Structure formats: structure tokens, C-alpha cells
Amino acid sequence: MRYINTYSIVAYDPNEQAWGVGVASKFLAVGAVVSWARAGVGAVATQSYANVSFGVDGLALMESGKTAQETLDILIAGDEGRNKRQVGLVDKYGNSASYTGSECHAWAGHQLGEGFACQGNILTGGDTLNAMADAFIHGKGELADRLVAALMAGDTIGGDSRGKQSAAVLVVKANGGYGGRNDRYIDLRVDDDPEPVKRLQDLVAIHHLFFGTYKPEDALPITEELARELQAMMTNGGYFAGEINGIWDEMCKIAFSNLIGNENLEERWSKDKTPDTIDPVALGYLRVRFGKK
């Protein structure tokens, strides 16, 4: 069996009512093995000769009412390979627990904090976990941003002593998935890349663009000047063949709706709901994507 050498963080955000896992490793597609989470239940990171049943069983135990520590105790007690395992958990209340087996490859250890647990093995040293914890505690933005900030801090300090290959972030919240039909708010993976954590950070930013919350109070009115700019963008993109005159008429709105649909920005602009204003986040993206040629 291949052992998975990695550093990870499991965490809970009470304001978002979200649970998540961030992980990085010199291992192909590490997020497919390590990360487990369920809204209203908790999160699990299982690594080092990973026992993937810890993910399934850990979530089931916490869903039944067990705390993170009680769940950990049960998982470890029932595992004959416990000395080689490493696992971190956070429950629905933010209680955290972690375990590092005595036969995990050095450097190995874990660190607990309020609402989170960091763990890693085959690291350059304990500074990796210290940096991760500090970055998470003082990080800004959503839970996903703070998880990736923790991974980036670990990556900068040293991370996995063998090098880099993959990274992932998983965040769940009730009805947080696409269309509100599941809890998988963010599930982004960089399976094989020379700089996986940096690429993961970029993907989270893109996720915020496409799926972030539209804020009506921030919307900009489509003035004559802005209409000219949008008409020029649509012309550059091949969506509009009319005159660039600053008149935001029905023809412009139809053309702009086609552009928005092709760019997957439906969460940011709608011909029916927001026809005469534009989200500044979407506008910033479009200026880069369809600026003057």
C-alpha cells in the first residue's frame, strides 16, 4: 500500500455554517483520498497509509451525535494499522481532534485550535503546522479562502519534504451546492501540477467569480458611457454588430445575455432581473476578457 504523505487542515466556520478540508501533498489527486465532509455533521482528513473508511465511518459517527474526540477514539481503537495512521476531525459544533500514529514518517505531528485541526507527516518540520494555524486564524474571506491560505502558508514554510504534486479544498454547507440541491459548495482539486497550492488559490478566486453572491447594493448602473464600453466588448467578442452609441436597448441586452451565458456569469447578470445594472465583479472580469484589441 502506498502511504499518503501530506499536510491538511479540517475546519468549521460558525458564521457560514460551513465545514471543510484543505490538503496538499506529493501524491497524485490527494483530495480524492483525504477529504471528507458533510454539512451539519463535520469534516475528516485521513492520511498516512490512509484508511479511507475513517471518512465514511467518521462522518456516520459524528452524525449519530458523537463528538470529534469520541469519534476519533472509536476509529483508532478499531484499526489494527493505527500506528501508521494520521487523521484530523472537526464536528458540527467545531470541536476538533487529531491523531498521529507512532510509526508515521518524520516529521509528523498535529496541532489543534478553536474550530480547526492541522496535521501532517513527512514534513520539513513543525513550522509547517505553526504557519498553517496562524494563517487560518488570521485569514480573511470565506472558509475556503482561509483553508487555502493555511495551505499556502505551509507550502511557503516547507510543506511536504518530498516536493509538490496535488492540492484540494472541499467546503460543504446546507444547500450550498450548484442550484441549492446538495451541500458541496466548493470541491476544487489540482491533481497534478508543479505548484498545486498556487493553482488551487487561483481556482478558488475563479469559483468566487462564477458562483459568488450577487450584491444588489454594489451594482453599477449601465450609463451611456458604460453602455459604450459594453458594446465595444460585445463587438470584440463577436456578439454585437450594431453601432457603438451608448444606447442600452433591447438588442444590446439580448447580445449581452448571450455573452453572459457563454461566460457562465448567469449568477452575476440577468436580462430579466438586472437588465440595467451590472455587477462590478463581472465587469472586472469582462474588461480583462473582452477589453480593447
Domain closes at, from 194, 211, 228: 211
Last residue of a domain, one of 167, 196, 211: 211
Same domain flag for 237 and 147: no
Find out whether 19 and 38 touch, Cβ atoms under 8 Å.
Answer: yes
Query: What string of DSSP letters covers 143-177?
Result: HHHHHHHHHHHHHHHT-BTT---EEEEEEEETT-S
Are residues 232 and 168 located together in one domain of the fold? no
- Residues 237, 274 share a domain: yes
Mean pLDDT within 58-75: 98
Are 239 and 116 in the same domain? no
259's CB contacts (< 8 A; 6+ apart) are 233, 234, 237, 239, 286, 290
Give residue-wise pLDDT tens across range 11-48. 999 999 999 999 999 999 999 999 999 999 999 999 99
Tally of structural domains, the chain: 2
Regarding whether 207 and 223 lie in a shared domain, the answer is no
Percent of the chain with pLDDT over 70: 97
As a whole number of angstroms, the distance between CA 65 and CA 99 comes to 20
pLDDT band at 93 (very low <50, low <70, confident <90, very high): very high
Whether 159 has a pLDDT exceeding 70, the answer reads no
Residue 190 shares a structural domain with residue 246: no
Of 67 and 5, which is predicted with more confidence? 67
pLDDT-based confidence at residue 161 (cuts at 50, 70, 90): low
Q: What is the pLDDT of residue 243?
A: 95
Q: Is residue 1 part of a domain?
A: no
The residue segments making up the domain with residue 189 are 6-211
At 291, the pLDDT band (50, 70, 90 cuts) reads confident
269-285 average pLDDT score: 94
State whether 19 and 150 are in the same domain.
yes
CATH of the domain at 188: 3.60.20.10
Same domain, 147 and 201: yes
61 in helix, strand or coil?
Answer: helix
